[in-house]
Structure 1
Amino acid sequence: MLRIYGLILIVVIITIVVIMTSPAFYNPWPALYGFLVISEDPRTSDVIIALSGGPGRDIYAAELYKAGLSRRIIMSGISPSAGQMAERAVVMGVKREDIILEERSVSTFQNALFTREIMVGKGFQSAIVVSSPYHMRRTKMVFERVFKGSGVRLIYCAAPPGLDINTPLGAEYARRTVIMEYIKLLYYWARY
Protein backbone atom coordinates (compact mmCIF):
# COMPACT_ATOMS: atom_id res chain seq x y z
CA MET A 1 0.00 0.00 0.00
CA LEU A 2 2.84 2.38 0.89
CA ARG A 3 4.51 1.62 -2.45
CA ILE A 4 1.34 2.57 -4.34
CA TYR A 5 1.16 5.92 -2.53
CA GLY A 6 4.88 6.44 -3.18
CA LEU A 7 4.45 5.72 -6.89
CA ILE A 8 1.46 8.06 -7.08
CA LEU A 9 3.49 10.79 -5.36
CA ILE A 10 6.40 10.27 -7.76
CA VAL A 11 4.08 10.52 -10.80
CA VAL A 12 2.45 13.69 -9.42
CA ILE A 13 5.80 15.35 -8.70
CA ILE A 14 7.23 14.42 -12.10
CA THR A 15 4.09 15.79 -13.77
CA ILE A 16 4.38 19.05 -11.84
CA VAL A 17 8.07 19.39 -12.72
CA VAL A 18 7.35 18.70 -16.43
CA ILE A 19 4.55 21.28 -16.50
CA MET A 20 6.55 23.86 -14.58
CA THR A 21 9.59 23.47 -16.83
CA SER A 22 7.70 23.81 -20.08
CA PRO A 23 8.52 26.95 -22.09
CA ALA A 24 4.95 28.17 -21.74
CA PHE A 25 5.27 28.35 -17.96
CA TYR A 26 7.15 30.97 -15.94
CA ASN A 27 10.75 30.49 -14.78
CA PRO A 28 10.30 27.79 -12.11
CA TRP A 29 13.95 27.44 -11.09
CA PRO A 30 14.04 29.90 -8.21
CA ALA A 31 10.99 28.23 -6.64
CA LEU A 32 12.24 24.68 -7.28
CA TYR A 33 15.65 25.56 -5.85
CA GLY A 34 14.15 27.49 -2.94
CA PHE A 35 12.10 24.49 -1.81
CA LEU A 36 15.29 22.44 -1.43
CA VAL A 37 17.03 25.00 0.78
CA ILE A 38 16.72 24.65 4.54
CA SER A 39 18.98 26.74 6.71
CA GLU A 40 18.47 27.38 10.40
CA ASP A 41 20.32 29.80 12.64
CA PRO A 42 23.33 28.03 14.11
CA ARG A 43 23.42 27.50 17.88
CA THR A 44 26.11 26.21 20.18
CA SER A 45 26.31 22.43 19.79
CA ASP A 46 28.49 19.53 20.89
CA VAL A 47 29.73 18.92 17.35
CA ILE A 48 29.52 20.17 13.76
CA ILE A 49 28.94 17.55 11.07
CA ALA A 50 30.25 18.55 7.63
CA LEU A 51 29.13 16.31 4.77
CA SER A 52 31.44 15.80 1.83
CA GLY A 53 30.33 16.30 -1.75
CA GLY A 54 30.06 20.01 -2.32
CA PRO A 55 32.31 23.06 -2.28
CA GLY A 56 32.38 25.24 0.80
CA ARG A 57 30.95 22.76 3.30
CA ASP A 58 34.25 22.23 5.12
CA ILE A 59 35.05 25.95 5.05
CA TYR A 60 31.67 26.85 6.56
CA ALA A 61 32.11 24.18 9.26
CA ALA A 62 35.50 25.71 10.10
CA GLU A 63 33.93 29.18 10.29
CA LEU A 64 31.25 27.91 12.69
CA TYR A 65 33.98 26.25 14.80
CA LYS A 66 36.04 29.46 14.87
CA ALA A 67 32.92 31.39 15.88
CA GLY A 68 32.78 29.20 19.01
CA LEU A 69 29.63 27.27 18.10
CA SER A 70 31.32 23.92 18.74
CA ARG A 71 34.65 22.52 19.84
CA ARG A 72 34.53 19.45 17.56
CA ILE A 73 33.90 18.77 13.86
CA ILE A 74 33.04 15.46 12.22
CA MET A 75 34.13 15.39 8.57
CA SER A 76 31.88 12.77 6.98
CA GLY A 77 32.58 11.23 3.58
CA ILE A 78 34.47 8.50 1.84
CA SER A 79 38.25 8.55 2.03
CA PRO A 80 40.13 10.62 0.89
CA SER A 81 37.37 13.24 0.78
CA ALA A 82 36.93 13.53 4.57
CA GLY A 83 40.67 13.82 5.05
CA GLN A 84 40.94 16.54 2.42
CA MET A 85 38.13 18.43 4.13
CA ALA A 86 39.97 18.12 7.44
CA GLU A 87 43.18 19.48 5.90
CA ARG A 88 41.36 22.55 4.56
CA ALA A 89 39.78 23.11 7.99
CA VAL A 90 43.20 22.90 9.67
CA VAL A 91 44.53 25.50 7.25
CA MET A 92 41.60 27.70 8.33
CA GLY A 93 42.59 27.40 11.99
CA VAL A 94 40.76 24.32 13.28
CA LYS A 95 42.87 22.24 15.66
CA ARG A 96 43.61 18.83 14.15
CA GLU A 97 42.72 17.11 17.43
CA ASP A 98 39.23 18.66 17.28
CA ILE A 99 38.45 16.92 13.97
CA ILE A 100 36.88 13.47 13.85
CA LEU A 101 37.07 11.65 10.52
CA GLU A 102 34.20 9.47 9.33
CA GLU A 103 35.54 7.96 6.12
CA ARG A 104 33.14 5.10 5.33
CA SER A 105 30.05 6.85 3.99
CA VAL A 106 29.29 7.03 0.28
CA SER A 107 25.76 8.44 0.56
CA THR A 108 23.73 10.89 2.59
CA PHE A 109 22.07 7.96 4.37
CA GLN A 110 25.45 6.56 5.37
CA ASN A 111 26.60 10.04 6.47
CA ALA A 112 23.70 10.02 8.93
CA LEU A 113 24.13 6.40 9.98
CA PHE A 114 27.87 6.56 10.64
CA THR A 115 27.83 9.99 12.30
CA ARG A 116 25.08 8.78 14.61
CA GLU A 117 27.38 5.91 15.67
CA ILE A 118 30.15 8.42 16.43
CA MET A 119 27.82 10.76 18.29
CA VAL A 120 26.36 8.02 20.46
CA GLY A 121 29.84 6.62 21.15
CA LYS A 122 31.16 10.02 22.24
CA GLY A 123 28.01 11.07 24.12
CA PHE A 124 27.27 14.07 21.89
CA GLN A 125 23.73 15.40 22.37
CA SER A 126 23.59 18.11 19.70
CA ALA A 127 24.99 18.83 16.26
CA ILE A 128 25.04 21.42 13.53
CA VAL A 129 24.71 19.60 10.20
CA VAL A 130 26.41 21.41 7.30
CA SER A 131 25.82 20.73 3.62
CA SER A 132 25.14 22.63 0.41
CA PRO A 133 21.88 24.61 0.25
CA TYR A 134 20.35 22.41 -2.49
CA HIS A 135 21.21 19.27 -0.47
CA MET A 136 19.67 20.39 2.83
CA ARG A 137 16.07 19.16 2.40
CA ARG A 138 17.26 15.61 1.68
CA THR A 139 19.88 15.86 4.42
CA LYS A 140 17.28 16.89 6.98
CA MET A 141 14.83 14.17 5.88
CA VAL A 142 17.49 11.44 6.15
CA PHE A 143 19.11 12.66 9.38
CA GLU A 144 15.72 13.06 11.09
CA ARG A 145 14.84 9.47 10.19
CA VAL A 146 18.20 8.02 11.25
CA PHE A 147 18.39 10.04 14.49
CA LYS A 148 14.73 9.48 15.42
CA GLY A 149 14.39 8.55 19.08
CA SER A 150 18.05 9.30 19.81
CA GLY A 151 17.40 12.49 21.78
CA VAL A 152 20.05 14.28 19.72
CA ARG A 153 19.20 17.87 18.74
CA LEU A 154 20.10 18.61 15.12
CA ILE A 155 20.38 22.05 13.52
CA TYR A 156 20.68 22.32 9.73
CA CYS A 157 22.88 25.07 8.31
CA ALA A 158 23.46 25.53 4.59
CA ALA A 159 26.99 26.38 3.52
CA PRO A 160 27.41 29.27 1.14
CA PRO A 161 27.56 29.69 -1.77
CA GLY A 162 24.28 28.52 -3.19
CA LEU A 163 23.60 27.72 -6.81
CA ASP A 164 23.50 30.60 -9.26
CA ILE A 165 20.22 29.90 -11.04
CA ASN A 166 19.62 33.29 -12.61
CA THR A 167 22.68 33.90 -14.79
CA PRO A 168 23.32 32.14 -18.11
CA LEU A 169 26.72 30.90 -16.94
CA GLY A 170 25.43 29.21 -13.79
CA ALA A 171 21.93 28.31 -14.93
CA GLU A 172 22.74 25.15 -16.89
CA TYR A 173 24.69 23.53 -14.07
CA ALA A 174 22.18 24.71 -11.46
CA ARG A 175 19.21 23.33 -13.36
CA ARG A 176 20.83 19.92 -13.75
CA THR A 177 21.75 19.94 -10.05
CA VAL A 178 18.21 20.85 -9.00
CA ILE A 179 16.66 18.16 -11.21
CA MET A 180 19.09 15.53 -9.89
CA GLU A 181 18.40 16.60 -6.31
CA TYR A 182 14.63 16.16 -6.79
CA ILE A 183 15.23 12.68 -8.22
CA LYS A 184 17.46 11.80 -5.25
CA LEU A 185 14.95 13.31 -2.81
CA LEU A 186 12.19 11.09 -4.19
CA TYR A 187 14.43 8.04 -4.14
CA TYR A 188 15.49 8.65 -0.53
CA TRP A 189 11.91 9.35 0.52
CA ALA A 190 10.79 5.99 -0.91
CA ARG A 191 13.88 4.02 0.13
CA TYR A 192 14.64 5.22 3.65
Structure 2
Amino acid sequence: MKKLPLALSFGASAIALASFFFWLAFYLRGRQFALRERLHRADAIVVLAGTRGNIKFLQGKIATAVRLYQKGWAPRIICSGKFSVKVTETPTLIPMSELQAAVGQGRIQEKDVAPAAKSWDVALGACYMCEQAVQMGVPRGVILVENESLHTKENAEMVLALAKKHKMRRIILVTSPFHQRRTYLTFAKVFQSHGVEILNYYADTGEWHPATWFLSTEHRKLVRSEEERIKKYRAKGDLL
Protein backbone atom coordinates (compact mmCIF):
# COMPACT_ATOMS: atom_id res chain seq x y z
CA MET A 1 0.00 0.00 0.00
CA LYS A 2 2.92 2.37 0.57
CA LYS A 3 3.87 2.18 -3.11
CA LEU A 4 0.66 3.88 -4.27
CA PRO A 5 1.41 7.40 -2.96
CA LEU A 6 4.91 7.15 -4.46
CA ALA A 7 3.47 6.14 -7.81
CA LEU A 8 1.00 8.98 -7.65
CA SER A 9 3.81 11.37 -6.82
CA PHE A 10 5.86 10.24 -9.80
CA GLY A 11 2.75 10.48 -11.99
CA ALA A 12 2.02 14.01 -10.83
CA SER A 13 5.66 15.01 -11.44
CA ALA A 14 5.56 13.54 -14.93
CA ILE A 15 2.37 15.44 -15.74
CA ALA A 16 3.82 18.66 -14.37
CA LEU A 17 7.02 18.20 -16.40
CA ALA A 18 5.08 17.40 -19.56
CA SER A 19 2.87 20.45 -19.00
CA PHE A 20 5.94 22.66 -18.58
CA PHE A 21 7.53 21.48 -21.82
CA PHE A 22 4.16 21.85 -23.59
CA TRP A 23 3.97 25.47 -22.38
CA LEU A 24 7.64 26.10 -23.21
CA ALA A 25 7.18 24.92 -26.81
CA PHE A 26 4.27 27.32 -27.33
CA TYR A 27 6.07 30.14 -25.53
CA LEU A 28 9.12 29.78 -27.76
CA ARG A 29 6.86 29.74 -30.80
CA GLY A 30 5.21 32.93 -29.57
CA ARG A 31 8.59 34.57 -29.07
CA GLN A 32 9.35 33.95 -32.74
CA PHE A 33 6.66 36.54 -33.47
CA ALA A 34 6.86 38.83 -30.44
CA LEU A 35 10.40 40.15 -30.97
CA ARG A 36 11.92 42.32 -28.26
CA GLU A 37 15.63 43.06 -28.31
CA ARG A 38 18.05 44.74 -25.97
CA LEU A 39 17.67 48.43 -26.66
CA HIS A 40 20.33 50.96 -27.58
CA ARG A 41 19.83 54.66 -28.02
CA ALA A 42 18.25 55.28 -31.42
CA ASP A 43 17.27 58.22 -33.60
CA ALA A 44 13.53 57.50 -33.57
CA ILE A 45 10.84 55.21 -32.23
CA VAL A 46 8.55 54.06 -35.05
CA VAL A 47 5.02 53.04 -34.07
CA LEU A 48 2.47 51.64 -36.53
CA ALA A 49 -1.28 52.23 -36.65
CA GLY A 50 -3.80 49.39 -36.26
CA THR A 51 -6.58 48.55 -33.84
CA ARG A 52 -7.86 45.07 -34.76
CA GLY A 53 -11.22 46.65 -33.97
CA ASN A 54 -10.26 47.49 -30.36
CA ILE A 55 -9.05 50.98 -29.50
CA LYS A 56 -7.15 49.65 -26.46
CA PHE A 57 -4.94 47.73 -28.87
CA LEU A 58 -3.84 50.94 -30.61
CA GLN A 59 -3.53 52.78 -27.31
CA GLY A 60 -1.15 50.09 -26.08
CA LYS A 61 1.15 50.66 -29.04
CA ILE A 62 1.11 54.43 -28.58
CA ALA A 63 1.74 54.10 -24.84
CA THR A 64 4.68 51.76 -25.45
CA ALA A 65 6.28 54.24 -27.87
CA VAL A 66 5.69 57.12 -25.46
CA ARG A 67 7.23 55.16 -22.59
CA LEU A 68 10.35 54.42 -24.62
CA TYR A 69 10.61 58.10 -25.59
CA GLN A 70 10.21 59.23 -21.99
CA LYS A 71 12.93 56.80 -20.91
CA GLY A 72 15.29 58.50 -23.36
CA TRP A 73 15.75 55.72 -25.89
CA ALA A 74 15.22 58.12 -28.83
CA PRO A 75 14.61 61.87 -29.31
CA ARG A 76 11.81 61.41 -31.86
CA ILE A 77 8.69 59.35 -32.48
CA ILE A 78 7.45 58.49 -35.96
CA CYS A 79 3.72 57.65 -36.20
CA SER A 80 3.04 55.65 -39.35
CA GLY A 81 -0.14 54.59 -41.11
CA LYS A 82 -3.09 56.19 -42.89
CA PHE A 83 -5.80 54.27 -41.04
CA SER A 84 -6.79 51.71 -38.46
CA VAL A 85 -9.78 49.36 -38.51
CA LYS A 86 -12.82 51.21 -37.19
CA VAL A 87 -13.89 50.84 -33.56
CA THR A 88 -17.17 52.79 -33.73
CA GLU A 89 -20.15 53.00 -36.06
CA THR A 90 -19.18 56.54 -37.10
CA PRO A 91 -15.74 56.11 -38.71
CA THR A 92 -14.13 58.48 -41.19
CA LEU A 93 -13.78 56.07 -44.09
CA ILE A 94 -11.49 56.35 -47.09
CA PRO A 95 -13.54 57.40 -50.15
CA MET A 96 -14.17 54.68 -52.73
CA SER A 97 -12.56 56.82 -55.43
CA GLU A 98 -9.33 56.99 -53.42
CA LEU A 99 -9.33 53.24 -52.87
CA GLN A 100 -9.88 52.58 -56.58
CA ALA A 101 -7.03 54.96 -57.37
CA ALA A 102 -4.81 52.97 -55.00
CA VAL A 103 -5.73 49.79 -56.92
CA GLY A 104 -4.80 51.50 -60.18
CA GLN A 105 -1.46 52.51 -58.70
CA GLY A 106 -0.76 48.94 -57.59
CA ARG A 107 -0.79 49.91 -53.92
CA ILE A 108 -3.63 47.57 -52.89
CA GLN A 109 -5.50 44.73 -54.57
CA GLU A 110 -9.04 44.91 -55.90
CA LYS A 111 -10.17 42.36 -53.30
CA ASP A 112 -9.18 44.80 -50.54
CA VAL A 113 -11.48 47.56 -51.72
CA ALA A 114 -14.83 46.30 -50.39
CA PRO A 115 -13.65 45.59 -46.81
CA ALA A 116 -11.53 48.77 -46.82
CA ALA A 117 -14.50 50.91 -47.81
CA LYS A 118 -16.40 49.59 -44.78
CA SER A 119 -13.71 49.59 -42.11
CA TRP A 120 -10.56 51.65 -42.84
CA ASP A 121 -10.89 54.64 -40.49
CA VAL A 122 -8.49 57.50 -41.25
CA ALA A 123 -9.49 59.20 -38.00
CA LEU A 124 -7.45 56.47 -36.25
CA GLY A 125 -4.30 56.84 -38.33
CA ALA A 126 -0.97 58.53 -37.65
CA CYS A 127 -2.49 61.95 -36.90
CA TYR A 128 -4.64 60.43 -34.16
CA MET A 129 -1.61 58.63 -32.76
CA CYS A 130 0.33 61.90 -32.71
CA GLU A 131 -2.44 63.65 -30.77
CA GLN A 132 -2.61 60.79 -28.27
CA ALA A 133 1.16 60.92 -27.75
CA VAL A 134 0.96 64.68 -27.15
CA GLN A 135 -1.76 64.10 -24.54
CA MET A 136 0.59 61.61 -22.88
CA GLY A 137 3.23 64.32 -22.53
CA VAL A 138 5.33 64.09 -25.69
CA PRO A 139 6.21 67.49 -27.23
CA ARG A 140 4.48 67.86 -30.60
CA GLY A 141 7.69 69.06 -32.20
CA VAL A 142 9.48 65.74 -31.74
CA ILE A 143 6.78 63.68 -33.50
CA LEU A 144 6.96 62.97 -37.22
CA VAL A 145 3.73 61.89 -38.91
CA GLU A 146 3.57 59.55 -41.91
CA ASN A 147 -0.14 59.26 -42.72
CA GLU A 148 -0.23 57.91 -46.28
CA SER A 149 0.85 54.25 -46.03
CA LEU A 150 -1.82 51.62 -46.67
CA HIS A 151 0.06 48.48 -45.64
CA THR A 152 3.25 47.30 -43.95
CA LYS A 153 5.51 47.61 -46.98
CA GLU A 154 4.40 51.19 -47.49
CA ASN A 155 4.97 51.84 -43.78
CA ALA A 156 8.56 50.76 -44.31
CA GLU A 157 9.08 52.72 -47.53
CA MET A 158 7.64 55.96 -46.16
CA VAL A 159 9.43 55.66 -42.82
CA LEU A 160 12.68 55.08 -44.72
CA ALA A 161 12.11 58.34 -46.60
CA LEU A 162 11.77 60.16 -43.28
CA ALA A 163 14.81 58.38 -41.86
CA LYS A 164 16.94 59.44 -44.82
CA LYS A 165 15.63 63.01 -44.71
CA HIS A 166 16.53 63.32 -41.03
CA LYS A 167 19.77 61.34 -41.36
CA MET A 168 18.68 58.59 -38.97
CA ARG A 169 20.93 55.56 -38.51
CA ARG A 170 18.90 53.49 -36.02
CA ILE A 171 15.20 53.11 -35.26
CA ILE A 172 13.21 51.22 -32.62
CA LEU A 173 10.26 49.46 -34.26
CA VAL A 174 7.04 49.14 -32.23
CA THR A 175 3.96 47.24 -33.33
CA SER A 176 1.61 44.46 -32.23
CA PRO A 177 3.34 41.43 -30.64
CA PHE A 178 2.05 38.91 -33.20
CA HIS A 179 2.80 41.34 -36.08
CA GLN A 180 6.32 42.30 -34.94
CA ARG A 181 8.18 39.58 -36.85
CA ARG A 182 6.51 40.22 -40.22
CA THR A 183 6.85 43.97 -39.72
CA TYR A 184 10.55 43.60 -38.98
CA LEU A 185 11.14 41.35 -41.99
CA THR A 186 9.34 43.86 -44.20
CA PHE A 187 11.26 46.85 -42.84
CA ALA A 188 14.55 44.93 -43.03
CA LYS A 189 13.96 44.18 -46.72
CA VAL A 190 13.24 47.83 -47.51
CA PHE A 191 16.06 49.16 -45.32
CA GLN A 192 18.72 46.58 -46.18
CA SER A 193 20.82 48.70 -48.54
CA HIS A 194 20.39 52.00 -46.69
CA GLY A 195 22.40 51.44 -43.53
CA VAL A 196 19.55 52.03 -41.06
CA GLU A 197 19.56 49.61 -38.12
CA ILE A 198 16.26 48.26 -36.77
CA LEU A 199 15.71 47.30 -33.13
CA ASN A 200 12.54 45.35 -32.31
CA TYR A 201 10.35 46.13 -29.32
CA TYR A 202 6.86 44.64 -29.44
CA ALA A 203 4.12 46.73 -27.85
CA ASP A 204 2.34 45.95 -24.60
CA THR A 205 -1.15 45.76 -26.03
CA GLY A 206 -2.75 43.94 -23.10
CA GLU A 207 -4.11 41.20 -25.35
CA TRP A 208 -1.79 38.88 -27.30
CA HIS A 209 1.17 37.75 -25.21
CA PRO A 210 3.90 35.21 -26.13
CA ALA A 211 3.39 33.32 -22.87
CA THR A 212 -0.38 32.82 -23.19
CA TRP A 213 -1.39 33.28 -26.85
CA PHE A 214 -2.07 29.58 -27.43
CA LEU A 215 -4.87 29.57 -24.84
CA SER A 216 -7.08 31.62 -27.19
CA THR A 217 -8.62 30.18 -30.37
CA GLU A 218 -8.57 33.64 -31.94
CA HIS A 219 -4.90 34.11 -31.17
CA ARG A 220 -3.99 30.69 -32.54
CA LYS A 221 -5.71 31.73 -35.77
CA LEU A 222 -3.69 34.95 -35.77
CA VAL A 223 -0.43 33.02 -35.54
CA ARG A 224 -1.43 30.70 -38.38
CA SER A 225 -2.42 33.73 -40.45
CA GLU A 226 0.92 35.41 -39.78
CA GLU A 227 2.81 32.26 -40.72
CA GLU A 228 0.89 32.05 -44.00
CA ARG A 229 1.46 35.73 -44.77
CA ILE A 230 5.16 35.47 -44.07
CA LYS A 231 5.42 32.59 -46.56
CA LYS A 232 3.30 34.46 -49.11
CA TYR A 233 5.13 37.79 -48.91
CA ARG A 234 8.55 36.15 -48.77
CA ALA A 235 7.71 34.30 -51.99
CA LYS A 236 6.82 37.69 -53.53
CA GLY A 237 10.17 39.07 -52.44
CA ASP A 238 8.70 41.57 -49.97
CA LEU A 239 10.43 40.14 -46.87
CA LEU A 240 14.04 39.71 -45.91
Task: Tell me how far apart the structure 2 counterparts of residues 167 and 131 of structure 1 sit (CA, whole Å).
Answer: 16
Whether the 8 Å CA contact 2:30–2:213 is kept in 1: the answer is: no
Q: Which residue of 1 aligns with 2:217?
A: 172
Q: Which runs of 4+ in 1 moved over 3 A?
A: 26-32, 164-168
Contact 1:73 1:99 in 2 (8 A): yes
Instruction: Give 2:183's aligned residue.
Output: 139
2:39 to 23, 38, 42: 42
> Under a length normalisation based on structure 1, what TM-score does the superposition of the two structures give?
0.78
1:52 aligned onto 2:49: yes
2: CA distance, partners of 1:87 / 1:125 = 26
Asked if 1:181 is matched to 2:185, the reply is: no
Stretches of structure 2 lacking an aligned partner (at least 5 in a row): 1-21, 52-56, 83-121
Match of 1:15 in 2: none
- 2:39 partner SS: coil
Distance 1:36 1:127 in 2: 19
**Pairing partner for 1:121 from 127, 146, 165:** 165
Tell me how far apart the structure 2 counterparts of residues 102 and 70 of structure 1 sit (CA, whole Å).
Answer: 18
Amino acid at match of 1:57: K
How far off is 1:126 after superposition? 1.3
Q: How does 1:4-15 map to 2 (within 5 A)?
A: none
TM-score norm. by structure 2 comes to: 0.63
* Deviation of 1:48 (Å): 0.8
The answer as to whether partners of 1:62 and 1:94 remain within 8 angstroms in 2 is yes
The CA RMSD over aligned residues, in Å, is: 2.1
Inter-partner Cα distance in structure 1 for 2:190 and 2:216: 33
CA distance in 1, matches of 2:65, 2:213: 28
C-alpha change, 1:171 and 1:45, in structure 2 (3 Å) is: same
Provide structure 1 residue ranges, at least 5 long, that are not aligned to the other structure. Answer: 1-25
Residue 65 of structure 2 corresponds to residue 65 of structure 1: no
Residue 61 of structure 1 aligns to which amino acid in structure 2?
Answer: A
Task: Return the alpha-carbon distance in structure 1 between the equivalents of residues 66 and 212 of structure 2.
Answer: 29
Aligned to 2:137: 93
- CA deviation string 1:138-175 (max 9, x = no partner): 1111111100121112111111145157489x602212
Larger-Rg structure? 2
- Residue 46 to residue 181, structure 1, CA distance change in 2 (3 Å): same
Q: CA contact under 8 A between 1:37 and 1:134: conserved in structure 2? A: yes
In percent, how many aligned pairs have the same letter? 30
1-side partners of 2:195 and 2:66: how far apart? 25
